[in-house]
Amino acid sequence: MAGPTIAFLVFDGLTPLDFVGPFEVLSRLPGAFTRIVSPTGGDILAAGGRLRIGADVALDEIDAADVLVVPGGPGARTLMHDDAVTAWVARVAAGARFTASVCTGALILGGAGLLNGREAATHWAARPLLAEFGATPVARRIVDHGSVLTAAGVSAGIDLALLLAAHIAGEDVARAIQLRIEYDPQPPFDSGAVEKASPAIRDLAATVG
Amino acid sequence: MAGPTIAFLVFDGLTPLDFVGPFEVLSRLPGAFTRIVSPTGGDILAAGGRLRIGADVALDEIDAADVLVVPGGPGARTLMHDDAVTAWVARVAAGARFTASVCTGALILGGAGLLNGREAATHWAARPLLAEFGATPVARRIVDHGSVLTAAGVSAGIDLALLLAAHIAGEDVARAIQLRIEYDPQPPFDSGAVEKASPAIRDLAATVG
């Protein structure tokens, strides 16, 4: 049996972990066929130009996937208003079993009309921006609407991808992937959620973006 | 004041999250200057050839860094016996304030002679391989020897990088980065450590590698 085709949108201004967290998990699904999709098919520059990542295909070379993953990053604030990108996301999402965003990738799903009237997760600092797309931001790690899922910021894509892996291939496979990537998190600090961080840490966080 | 120069070794057969987890954290350090180093300076193929990542420089174009990060992946089992690579790691590590491995990157540190007589962390499935280098594998998330740190498999690099960020720039900056990447992990399952996973899940994990 053929495994799932999983398309990952990548773009200039991507936050690398938004993409690589889910890629690391989902590319391990049995038979997974991954497609890294950039607007032009060329390499993209992530992390403020510090990291170059190759793409497999351009937007106009692929119009279907079983799973579509849309990561975020500063570039998402441009793409959410880019008609070619949002139309592509809407088209692929219409035929996909699952469409998932990480971080400000939710803004691109919003631009594609996928979050209208729905609760959604995104990076805590971007929550107010969801209103433009008729979505209600919620302070949750993952919001699962069945075919459309949204995750909170950056590292939340790993949690979302494990949930997706279970939806696609069953809980045992998801657990096996979790073990393989030794995802037994032990953060040395506990300031990973805006509700837990002090005002001083929140201010400082604006400088490490 | 100039920030730290942080060199990341990348190579064919890299596990992407081993590299990108620490990159996402450490590239956010104030003034950080990141150098992505591949053996030849060319692009590398990670994740079994599914993901192409660009490098900034070749091994022979850089011989010093404040921080050296050595990720793992299947390719590490070749590089741990590659004299050019291990000599480079030993040379850069000798002048670095911190040298850190993620996952089977520990085998490369081992090949460079950095773990002889020491306890070290690595991917759970690779623990027996550390003995060749005189190291004692331990079932810990991070082993911190001051200038040399080793992390467990794949995702453990995020935890290690936050600890390193605190060593380099102080705990407040590390907490701010944790908040910025919203690292408030909520794995949907609890099988991320080999000690927690059932024998069946362990067997299945061998198929999602």
The size of the A-B interface in CB pairs under 8 A is 242
The string of pLDDT tens digits covering residues B8-63 is: 999 999 999 999 999 999 999 999 999 999 999 999 999 999 999 999 999 999 99
Cβ of B207 under 8 Å from any chain A Cβ?
yes
The answer to whether residue A57 scores a pLDDT higher than 60 is: yes
ipTM over the 0.90 cut-off: yes
The domain defined by B5-205 carries CATH number 3.40.50.2020 = no
The answer to whether residue A209 scores a pLDDT higher than 90 is: no
Cβ of B183 under 8 Å from any chain A Cβ?
yes
Nearest CA in chain B to A209: B180
Mean pLDDT of A79-95: 98
Cβ of A145 under 8 Å from any chain B Cβ?
no
Give the global pTM.
Answer: 0.97
Catalytic hit among B9, B65, B92, B103: B103
% of chain B residues with pLDDT over 70: 100
Nearest to A204 by CA among B176, B104, B91: B176
The rounded mean pLDDT for chain A is: 97
In this predicted structure, what is the pLDDT of residue A22? 98
Secondary structure letter of residue B190 according to DSSP: S
Mean pLDDT of A127-136: 97
The answer to whether residue A1 scores a pLDDT higher than 90 is: no
The rounded mean pLDDT for chain B is: 97
Check: CB of residue A107 under 8 Å from CB of residue A114. Answer: no
How far does the CA of residue A10 sit from the closest CA of chain B (Å)? 12
Nearest to B176 among A154, A180, A204 (CB): A204
Nearest to A82 by CA among A107, A99, A61, A57: A107
Residue type, A159: D
Tell me the domain boundaries of chain B. 5-205
% of chain A residues with pLDDT over 90: 98
Beta strands (DSSP E) in chain B are: 5-9, 33-38, 44-46, 51-53, 57-58, 67-70, 98-101, 119-120, 136-137, 142-144, 148-151
Cα–Cα separations (whole angstroms), residue A20 to A4, A58, A114, B22 = 18, 19, 23, 12
Do A23 and B51 make contact, defined as CB atoms within 8 angstroms? yes
User: Could you tell me the pLDDT band of residue A2, with boundaries at 50, 70 and 90?
Assistant: confident
The answer to whether residue B94 scores a pLDDT higher than 90 is: yes
B28 CB neighbours in chain A (<8 A) are 208-209
In this predicted structure, what is the pLDDT of residue B43? 98
Mean pLDDT of A59-86: 98
Mean pLDDT of A136-155: 97
Residues contacting residue A60 through CB under 8 Å, at least 6 positions apart: A88
Q: With the CA atoms of A15, A158, A179 and B133 taken in that order, what torsion angle do they form, in degrees rounded to the nearest 10?
A: 20
The answer to whether residue A50 scores a pLDDT higher than 90 is: yes
According to DSSP, the β-strands at B142-144 and A119-120 are unpaired
Residue type, B204: L
Mark whether B135 is an active-site residue: no
User: Could you tell me the pLDDT band of residue B209, with boundaries at 50, 70 and 90?
Assistant: confident
The string of pLDDT tens digits covering residues A90-128 is: 999 999 999 999 999 999 999 999 999 999 999 999 999
Chain B, 80 to 139: residues with Cβ < 8 Å from chain A are 103, 123-124
